[in-house]
Amino acid sequence: MHAEQLEVAAFLQKHPPFQDLPEEAINEMAQQVEISYYREGRDILHFREKIDDLYVIRSGAVETFRRSGELYNRLGEGGIFGQLGLMMNHLVRFPVRALEDTLVYCIPANLFHDYCEKYDKFADYFEAEDNALLRQAITTHADNNDLITAKVKELISRDLVTCSMHASIHEAAMQMTDNGVSSLLITDPDQPLPKVNGNEHKVVGIITDRDLRIRALANAVSIDTPVSEVMTTDLITLDDNAYVFEAILAMLRHNVHHLPILHRQRCTGVLALSDVVRHESQSSILLVRGILSQQSVSELTHYAAQLPAVFVRMVNEDANSHMIGSAMSVIGRSFKQRLLTLAEEKLGPPPVPYCFLALGSMARDEQLIVTDQDNGIILDNSFEADRHGAYFEELAKFVSDGLAACGYTYCTGNIMATNPDCRRTLDEWKLQFGHWIENPVPQALLNSSIFFDLDGVWGEAKLAEQLREFIATKAPANRSFLASMARNALNRTPPLGFFKGFVLEQDGEHKNSINLKRRGTAPLTDVIRVHALAVGSMAQNSFERMEDVISAKILPPGKGQDICDALEYISMVRVRHQALAIQAGEKPGNNIQPDKLSSFERRNLKEAFQVLDSAQNFIKFRYKANPRMR
């Protein structure tokens, strides 16, 4: 080797992880290294630009940044950067700038990946310990500040301002002026909230600037009139874990500019339209707005053709799978809501109150681009089949056919509102769920994996809420049911062999591939559902269920976060694969070929599957019909 290459080899041998490489490997690397020089203040790597080298600092120092511009790390001599981009999809994750005049060694990506395959200690260095790399691979997607990633609680910047319902209009207006707010939540001092310190009372209404202009001033109402006479009582609320685009959807749907935000059913603030204007998006939210303005099924069908492009855009904007699942679910709900509006315009108003249900992945806010329709109807207990049955049969058919036309295929298991078994009164649904819980036979367990994930998307949402409360109360008390659900959650195992290598499908259309839904996300969701039922969680989303499970402390320390990370990572691989297929003009699916992934993606995928394996082993022993559960 030349003298310069000998110097490179000598330097690398002094620093991890190169010091563990054989001498011949160090020498080969030294011969392939290129040297670059950057002056102080110069940008070395830009966010999302293509990256083809691993960088090692020979002299000088650099700063790395999050995509938001926030400082992430400072590195000096021997420091390494660029590895995360090489591990993922060869795009820069953390921009880098020279803090001082800096000399770097550039190691080609193909050599980096080759050494990761050949030398375990070299690869282990970049994997780090205790699932850190898997967690880092996930959290680097969480910086995006788009509507699909920002939660409403992040936009609440002022304390809650309330007013007694007995106060006058003048007093309410003065309070709004003094606090610089455009709305007031109205409380009833005669209804204190239970288990709350202080003087918190039930919120019974809201009054806004608009209400004062239209209901009071325009009608010359006396300023001494109680504010309760001009307030809005039918509150449209959102949970503080909802996303900003869901808030905009609610504002559009109900023509309101203010939404009370709830945390565990208690108001924590009010989100105003002005709070979200700066977050205006040009992707998923505009599609939702368009859906709600279409005037026929044929127009909706034409509009639905944009859905794959919106999905790809969200993936390319680095939204994580949790956000994408939520966005796609809201879009799916919007199609349902518009179809139900059109159905009621055609058939007339419903003869009795009802709630149209989303079931399965849409109810969990985990829907992706490849999906069928799972839905049902809860009917008011005043429903009479002879008098009202034909109306809801027609409504269900109109919606189901419309969804199919928009790309949401008919459910092969017939879990649709067109099936009379999926249209029941609230009392009948309670009896049915009670029967499934008390008699957990195989068919009941199959139904439980679908029907126990439910969300009201149209109509009387309180019917769905009452049914969820019934399930959350009844399921934890039945050990036999939980034990059966746990056994059922073991039916789909991770695709790992005895030596933790991938077990691939051996024949058919998907030979030499892994179905990430059937062998990854679905069994993880099953495990989470069992835990959620056991702790009486009323959450539907798997990540929010895990918050309740972790809070209940039924898992060993750290294992709950591991499950979340594994679900997020497998889902990330799945959505990226589907987006690439769409961009290539191919039909998206759930199967991936591991040999087409980078070595680090394969390692992380194995780690995620090992978390699933561990989680399944845990529920196998925790949930038994007879022994006392700790």
Any domain includes 147: no
Does 106 share its domain with 173?
Answer: no
Is 287 inside a domain boundary?
no
Check whether residue 180 and residue 244 sit in a common domain: yes
Domain assignment present for 281: no
Q: 329 and 439 share a domain?
A: yes
Any domain includes 627? no
Shared-domain flag, residues 126 and 11: yes
pLDDT above 70: residue 135: no
Which of the listed residues 450, 471, 492 is the one where a domain comes to its end? 471
Query: What is the domain-level CATH number for residue 330?
Result: 3.30.460.10
Considering the chain, what is the average pLDDT of its residues? Answer: 85
- CATH number assigned to the domain comprising residue 169: 3.10.580.10
CATH code at position 60: 2.60.120.10
pTM to 2 decimals? 0.65
- CB-based contact 623:483 (threshold 8 Å): yes
**pLDDT tens digits, residue range 470-485?**
998 998 888 889 999 9
Last residue of a domain, one of 77, 107, 140: 140
pLDDT on residue 508: 66
Report how far residue 570's alpha carbon sits from residue 608's, in angstroms, rounded to the nearest whole number: 7
- Domain count of the chain? 4
Looking at the domain assignment, is residue 605 inside a domain?
yes
**492 plus 461 within the same structural domain:** no
Same domain, residue pair 465 and 340: yes
**Do 434 and 456 lie in a common domain?**
yes
User: In terms of domains, do 54 and 201 share one?
Assistant: no
> What distance in Å separates the CA atoms of residue 490 and residue 474, rounded to the nearest whole number?
23
Would you say residue 176 lies in a domain? yes
Verify that 225 and 194 share a domain, yes or no: yes
Q: Are residues 325 and 449 in the same domain?
A: yes
Read off the pLDDT band of 199 (50, 70, 90): low
**Is residue 279 in a domain?**
no
Question: Does residue 507 belong to any structural domain of this protein?
Answer: yes
Average pLDDT over residues 450-456: 89
Q: Which of 173, 182, 177, 240 minimizes the C-alpha distance to 210?
A: 182
Q: Of the residues 94, 117, 140, which one is the last residue of a structural domain?
A: 140
Cα gap 438→441, rounded to integer Å: 9
Q: What is the pLDDT of residue 500?
A: 62
The secondary structure element, H or E, covering residue 328 is helix 321-347
CB proximity list for 416: less than 8 A, separation 6 or greater: 373, 374, 375, 376, 396, 400, 410, 422
557: containing domain: 482-622
The CA-based diameter of the chain, rounded to the nearest angstrom, is: 94
Give the tens place of pLDDT for each residue, 225-272: 999 999 988 888 888 878 777 787 677 667 788 889 987 778 888 888
- What CA–CA distances, in Å, run from 126 to 18, 21, 222, 592? 11, 14, 71, 24
pLDDT band at 626 (very low <50, low <70, confident <90, very high): low
* Same domain? 116 vs 28: yes
Instruction: Find which of 98-102, 135-139, 390-394, 451-455 is predicted with most confidence, using mean pLDDT.
Output: 390-394
- My answer on whether 110 and 131 are in the same domain is yes
Q: What is the mean pLDDT of residues 545-555?
A: 93
C-alpha 280/C-alpha 542 separation (Å) is 27
Read off the pLDDT of each residue in 76-105 and give the average, rounded to a whole number: 87
Give the CATH number for residue 540. Answer: 1.20.120
Q: Token pair for residue 582?
A: 């769409």
Residue 152 has pLDDT above 50, yes or no: yes
